[in-house]
Structure 1
Amino acid sequence: MKNFTVKLAVVFINTSVVWCGSNSLLAPGDTLIRDGEVRNRVYGDPPFTLSNNIVGKTVVYSSSDTTVAAVWGNTVIIKKAGTTVIKAEIPGDTQTTKNFIVYKKQLTVTTPNVWRVQGTANPKFVVNITGFVNGEDESVLISKPVAFCNANAASPPGEYPITITGGSAQNYSFWYDNTSKLKVVGVALPDDSWRVSLSPNPASDKLTLNGVEGPFTIEIIDLTGTVRMQEYQTQPVIDISHLPEGIYLVKIKDAVSTTVKKLIIRR
């Protein structure tokens, strides 16, 4: 009886495992999977093609977890964020595997600047989320990010940072833009605020102040806390035609008191 010797080589290349059978024709420098093709892939990336430099033989590709990435021929289709193993095989000859990580897609989370009057509660902070892929929207989130501000009704006038935090998702991570501010306006509604009224309200081009005593100053402040108009007046009819549609805070100071009213401009 003759003795036969079978040689089996195991080669480790860049964390990949290459199995070469005894009759393998894989030569030094031959590549079944190119490293760059399976790196830095993110959920939402389009399908991509695997390539090799093998001549005269068919390379068959597969994925160990088709819920993360499926392989059709030599095309990889990303399904979700996670980790799988891509295998390249020359049937009956050689195979190699590489870990393939699909990273989460980053979403950008913002909230607008807002304002309120001193002594009142904080407004509801609206969170805007952008960057979804594959036609998805906020409905795919496990939980949504939230925004909050440490200012309270007793906080003095000034600007306070709004902080965004939280949120979770299978295929998305979050980047928070925490540059927005809550502006607390240093005015409060006096007990005699009923004395002065605005008409019409909503208004379009002209606004009449009813009940003012003598000359007065008027400030009109938009929702960002920006003073859009400031004038000294002796007549109760004010031209507001230059102001865009929206909701405003009107601060009126006459000989009796300072009054704050809400104004809606609509055209």
Structure 2
Amino acid sequence: MTVSQTGNSNYHAVSDAIRFDVVEKQAQTIVFTDIPDLTYGALDQTMTATASSGLSIDFHVISGPAVLNGSTLSITGTGTVVVEATQAGDTDFLAAVAQQSFVVDKAPLSVTADDLSITYGDAIPSLTFTYAGLVNGESGNDLLSEPTIITTTNNTSDAGTYPITLSGGASDNYDISLQDGTLTINKVDQVISIDQIDDKAPTDVDFDVVASVTSGLTFTYDISGPATITGTTISLHGTHGTVTLTVTQAGDINHNAASESITFEVQLITAVSTFESKISVYPNPAISELVITGAEHSAVKMFSLDGKLVKEATVSHQKLNIGDLENGTYLMEISQGQERVVRKVVKVN
């Protein structure tokens, strides 16, 4: 290339020339490894790309919910992410650029109402729900809005099953699904109380039974043994035996059925204190044999608690074999002449 100046009246003409070579830079291509579509909460992605020139690659996030640290890409939200790989070129290669995009979908998030169970009469507890699918250490506070939870029951509701219902909830990063729960109100147990009845003599007059139930509901009576009951009044039959009184409340929509029993003895003949003071029966409980002292040659009758005679014998050598009896509780009547006494004995293995 020549540069010249023609000169004028004061200056001579002048020229100068230089020579240089023009070299054309080569184009280069970038192969950018595809990043697949992801779901929010996905692990960090390592971006890889190579340039045909062999020169180093730089990466950039052009747009979308992602941040870059070197070649490590971290997802920060949902939507479309555009990333770019660039090579700036050098004295031999032109600059090159490659872009790609991928979609970050919402993560599935299920919200389940916690089932609850209480007993009739209890206060309705706080309603709660459980998340499954939160990522990145997040909590419900990271949602745009959390679901609301309600139930149709209240503190006066009958026993039964009631829905716990979820609604609402919003998030840019989660696809929320709701699962309702159940509040179960169980029937409450009721307790029956019966005043203890002392043992009676067959000739005792009628008497009333006193009973109550915590529910305040109406209850019924059932009696077995040598007695009957009319209303709350018990009448004895005049014979000995064990009387079992059962008070039952059938329950209702809010209360479980309840039953309670007591027993008392009706003695055939009251003991004569002198005779009774001499008699001793042991061991009690007994396995196969009873020792009866103070009643030599006395007649012995043994009755089951329902009044059935199960054994008769005469005391000989102070011993009575009961090995042939079933395990259980018996009334033993010991008599000598006009004197009698009754003992309760227990037969065991």
Instruction: State the TM-score, normalized to the length of structure 1.
Output: 0.51
2:247 equivalent among 215, 235, 240: 215
Equivalent in the alignment of 1:52: 49
Looking at structure 1, the residues matched to 258 and 192 of structure 2 have their Cα atoms a distance apart, in angstroms, of 17
Deviation at 1:24, TM superposition (A): 2.7
SS at the partner of 1:215? strand
Count of equivalent residues: 182
For residue 117 of structure 1, report the CA deviation from its aligned partner: 7.6
Question: Equivalent of 1:139, from 132, 138, 141?
Answer: 141
Structure 1: 5+ residue stretches without partners? 1-21, 198-209, 220-224, 236-267
Match of 1:39 among 37, 40, 57: 37
Which residue of 2 is the match for residue 128 of structure 1?
130
**For each residue in 1:142-164, what CA deviation from the matched residue of structure 2 results, as whole angstroms up to 9, or x when unmatched?**
21112334568998875444332
The structure-2 alpha-carbon separation of the partners of 1:41 and 1:128, relative to structure 1 and needing over 3 Å to count, comes to closer
- Does the CA contact (< 8 Å) of 1:164 and 1:176 recur in 2? yes
Contact persistence 1:127–1:146 (CA under 8 A): no
The residue number in structure 2 matching 1:70 is: 67
Who wins on radius of gyration, i.e. which is larger? 2
Q: Counterpart of 2:46 in structure 1: which amino acid?
A: T
Contact 2:247 2:261 in 1 (8 A): yes
Higher strand proportion (structure 1 or 2):
2
- The answer (yes or no) to whether the contact 1:23–1:93 under 8 Å persists in 2 is no
* Counterpart in the other structure of 2:174: 172
Cα separation, 1, equivalents of 2:60 and 2:257: 70
* Corresponding residue for residue 162 of structure 1: 164
Q: Which residue of structure 1 aligns with residue 183 of structure 2?
A: 182
Structure with more contact order per residue of length (Cα contacts < 8 Å, sep ≥ 6): 1
Write the letter of the residue equivalent to 1:57: L
- Provide structure 2 residue ranges, at least 5 long, that are not aligned to the other structure: 1-24, 89-93, 194-210, 214-218, 220-245, 263-349
Q: 2:110 aligns with which of 108, 112, 127?
A: 108
Contact 2:28 2:51 in 1 (8 A): no
Q: Matched residues in 1 for 2:250 and 2:132: separation?
A: 39
- 1:85 pairs with 2:82: yes
Task: Let me know the Cα RMSD of the aligned residues.
Answer: 4.4
The answer to whether residue 59 in structure 2 is matched with residue 61 in structure 1 is yes
Q: Distance in 1 between matches of 2:73 and 2:250?
A: 65
Q: Give the secondary structure class of the aligned counterpart of 2:43.
A: coil
Q: What is the Cα deviation at residue 48 of structure 1? A: 1.6
Scaled by the length of structure 2, what TM-score is found?
0.41
2:57 aligned with 1:25: no
User: In structure 2, the residue corresponding to 1:76 is in which secondary structure?
Assistant: strand
Letter matched to residue 147 of structure 1: I
Task: Tell me the CA shift for residue 47 of structure 1.
Answer: 1.7
